[in-house]
A and B are shown apart, each in its own frame.
Chain A
Amino acid sequence: MRIALNPQPGVLVITRTLTVALVGNPNTGKSTLFNALTGLRQHVANYPGVTVEMKKGTARAAGLDFQVVDLPGTYSLAPRSPDEMVSVDLLLGHVKGESRPDVVISIVDATNLERHLYLTTQLLDLGVPVIVAVNLIDLAARHQLQIDFPTLSKKLGVPVVPVQANRGLGVDDLAKAATAAAEAGTPPAPVPFPPAFRAEVDGLVESLGGRIEPYLAERLLLDVGGYTEKQLAHRFGPTLNTQVTAARSRLAGAGCAVPAIEARTRYGWIRQAVSGCLRRPAQRVVTWGDRLDRVFTHKVWGTLIFLALMFAVFQAIYVWATPLMELIDGGRGWLADGVRDAMSPGPLRNLLTDGILKGVGGVLVFLPQIMILFAVIAVLEDCGYMARAAFLMDKLMSKCGLNGKSFIPLLSSVACAVPGIMATRVIENRRDRLATILVAPLMSCSARLPLYMLLIGIFLSDPWWLPGVALFGMYLIGLVVAPLVALVLKRTLLRGETPVFVMEMPAFKVPQVRAVLRRMIGAGWAFVYRAGTLILASMVLIWACLYFPSRMPDGRSYDVVTAELGDDAKRLKEEADQATDAEVKKQKGEEAAAKEDELNTLYGEWKRQSVLGRAGRALEPAFRPLGWDWKIGMAALASFPAREVVVGTLGIIYNQGDVDPKEVARDEKVAESGLGRAIREEWSSDPETGKYRVPVALSLLVFFALCCQCASTLAVIRRETGSWAWPAFTFAYMTALAYVGAFITFQVGRFIVG
């Protein structure tokens, strides 16, 4: 089926949309070109079993709509993993539900033509029309490189279009050339490999009954230990491997040893094609980028700049996001108050205010951090600094089996694991990326802080230096345990040969505002859309566990009675405020306080007999070895969807009402607050916790430091890994780690206390 560009009247033409694939090295401006072609008409496509995403969009040229697929950036089409195989499969038309591209646009960097044309020559072998887009022509001019495009086109045997994607220059010409090439449909001539190699490729294809493309046979011969070997051995049986090994040794005898023959043949051909169309200056031009690089990778200056930048990144997500997060939380509170005023008390009102609004707020509250972090990452990547940061940190990170690119995701996780896990997208290697994702939740995030402040404030406030040391110790737990777990994972579950960490250090350039905004909004939307629903669902679930059963022993509803008590207390307080007579003011104030006490007691009673409270009591034997009574256990249980609720839950359980964690984190005299006193008194009244208050506090602290009490994190892991297995694994190993850690802490503490 081909599109008829000028259908004659009365003639029925079967048409379908043309598909154009965009292929190029990383840092070629491929995404910029994709955006220039498609504008805002784009979406992300996922494929089962792989972590890569491809962007798709529609573009228009010569009055014709066509689909553009943006393939992940790659240096070569020699697949070594399922992720890399997807690109090859798509280009060969092997992906189910995807039509084979009608034309491939090979985008190359004008300042480094020869290396970029390497990938182009692989595309020439695919048997599909190819056109070459030479990008960054402005940069080439700065390097005083002159390219003769018509001659280059003749030598390569495919159309060549100069473009400057960031300005949109040449994009129309490119679109027209793409549709014309697709319309003609003639594949280019493949690169001339030596006859001995060709003969082996033909022999392989023939022996497999013509069931594979020549390109796959090529890969099978060239990629020693590559993914094609595995995939085809699975399809055609293990005898294929002996056949391939024999062919490879015959090739070595004929002076065409793999894999060197590929690079020699392709680069030889490219050199010939480029000679005569490319004029270089006699002396290499030193650009400002070269000078910058000298500073950024310098032993002293480079390190100082890196530390300053990382501090700024951390500050941005930790501090700048806070007012925005408070604004979101305030908006949620305002809406909840509105709903509360408009409806009568009951399960529906409670579901809206405490279930759904809290859930939606709990999703939106992450947005400022995610968007700020992604803006920073987009700027760092776009300007070329990201590779320098990875260069500086690689040695340190490689000690725990990761690589330099894991640093920023892990640093971000100290503020919040959700944006941190999303930031692991910069790590190309699948195993390194997974290891980073799995240990990121161990970094001590800001949601743990309120509990740290509360318990340290109550039990570890004396002598003066102890609170600081204790808080530092809490952060240290994450900083020590995360690398250890990463090391263990890389030696067991994620074992494999050390990935090649040959990384390009791209030329520095000024980041594009539009690209940065796009990344920011894209990340925010992806989070809300993909993870948001899961987070909301878990919030509603935990709400139900804390709401039901809501019948009091006398048959009335806890919800209605507490709502009435709350209204009474509020009214009395207002009356006390308005009263002019001191006696009346005092009396009303006392009445209001009494009502509030009654309310908090009843509220605590309600929650203690809820499904979750009963679960806490049933699980008490499991909590005892950690030194906890069932109330502490219930607070820990209630914190599994979101750990920051622990302070509020403790408040409810100890009849202090729903305490605001933000105030606890800020309160310097937290030990003297209502909750602080209640915890001390309650724990003293129990014979076990009373004697070992400090070990109990420490065991609870360690538990919270190591446990994965965050549904949002699990939802994001699910989204980023595309599987439920990884969030399940993260949850299981962290809970086990937390339990063992808390157990050891309490038992050792008890032994010391005696």
Chain B
Amino acid sequence: MTTLDQVPPGLRCRIDAVDGPPALVQRLLELGLMDGEEVAVIARAPLGDPIEVEAALTRLSLRRAEAAHVHVTLPG
């Protein structure tokens, strides 16, 4: 188990849990980043932050501090 900010670009993983400040949790849930969902890391910005992720057909930009609240499991 790791967090989404640690996942290298190009990998797909499954969300286990989302925690953190209420406003962040609510926004992530609203956008469909909730437990059981699959999410892929697409890219990192040139300065290493934020990261671009894809869930369903939505592409999102997340700051790494925010992505650190998304707990994920890597496949295999």
Contact = CB atoms under 8 A, between A and B. Distances in A.
A107 to B, nearest CB: 16
Contacts of A263: 29-30, 32, 34
B68 interface: no
Contact of B43 (A224, A294, A497, A501): A294
A303 B46 contact: yes
A264 B52 contact: no
Interface in A113-167: 114-115, 118, 143
Contacts of A293: 42-43, 52, 59
Contact of A260 (B24, B34, B50): B34
A396 B50 CA distance: 11
Interface in A55-90: 75-76, 78, 80
Contacts of A398: 49, 63
Interface string A380-394: 000000010011101
Interface string B7-31: 0000000000000011111111111
Contact of B61 (A112, A226, A260, A390): A390
Interface stretch (A357-365, A437-445, A502-510, A738-746): A502-510
B32 A392 contact: no
Given A264-B34, A500-B66, A394 B49 contact: yes
Nearest to B24: A500
Nearest to B67: A502
B23 A392 contact: no
Interface in B38-76: 42-50, 52, 56-63, 66
Interface string A210-239: 000000000000111110000000000000
A530 interface: no
A224 B45 contact: no
Nearest to A387: B61
B26 A502 contact: no
Contact of A502 (B28, B44, B45, B48): B28
Interface residues of B, number: 32
Contact of A115 (B48, B50, B58): B58
Contacts of B28: 502
A132 B5 CA distance: 36
Nearest to A78: B26
Nearest to A395: B47
A506 B58 CA distance: 8
Given A118-B30, A260-B34, A387-B61, A224 B52 contact: no
A581 to B, nearest CB: 73
A225 B45 CA distance: 31
Nearest to A396: B47
A304 B4 CA distance: 27
A708 B48 CA distance: 36
A255 interface: no
Contacts of B57: 111-112, 143, 284
A114 to B, nearest CB: 7
A75 B33 CA distance: 13
A112 B58 contact: yes
A506 B57 CA distance: 10
A461 interface: no
B56 A504 contact: no
A740 B46 CA distance: 38
Contacts of B32: 114-115, 118, 263, 267
B55 to A, nearest CB: 8
B56 A502 contact: no
Contact of B52 (A78, A80, A505, A506): A505
B21 A504 contact: no
A43 interface: no
Interface centre among A75, A297, A303, A504 (most CB of B within 10 A): A297
A302 interface: yes
B43 A502 contact: no
A502 B27 contact: yes
A106 B32 CA distance: 18
Contacts of B63: 394, 398, 501
Given A114-B56, A497-B23, A502 B47 contact: no
Given A294-B43, A298-B43, A80 B59 contact: no
B61 A225 contact: no
Given A293-B59, A505-B59, A302 B46 contact: yes
A259 interface: yes
Nearest to B33: A502
A262 interface: yes
A114 B56 CA distance: 9
Contacts of A112: 56-58
A112 B32 CA distance: 11
Interface in A254-269: 259-260, 262-264, 267
A299 interface: yes
Contacts of A284: 57
Contacts of A225: 22-23
A112 B60 CA distance: 13
Contact of A391 (B27, B29, B52, B56): B52
**Residue of B28, B30, B49 with most chain A CB atoms under a 10 A cut-off:** B30
A421 B29 CA distance: 33
B27 A500 contact: yes
A395 B49 contact: yes
A224 B60 contact: no
A502 B66 contact: yes
A143 B46 CA distance: 29
Contacts of B22: 223-226, 259
Interface string A270-306: 0000000000000010000000011001111011000
List 4 tightest A-B contacts by C-beta distance, closest first: A263-B29, A395-B47, A224-B22, A505-B59
26 contacts: A75-B31, A111-B57, A112-B56, A112-B58, A224-B22, A225-B23, A259-B29, A260-B25, A267-B34, A293-B52, A297-B45, A298-B43, A299-B44, A303-B46, A394-B61, A395-B47, A395-B50, A501-B61, A501-B63, A502-B31, A502-B60, A503-B61, A504-B31, A505-B52, A505-B60, A505-B61
Given A394-B50, A502-B61, 7 more contacts: A111-B57, A114-B56, A391-B52, A391-B61, A500-B23, A502-B27, A504-B60
Interface of B: 21-32, 34, 42-50, 52, 56-63, 66
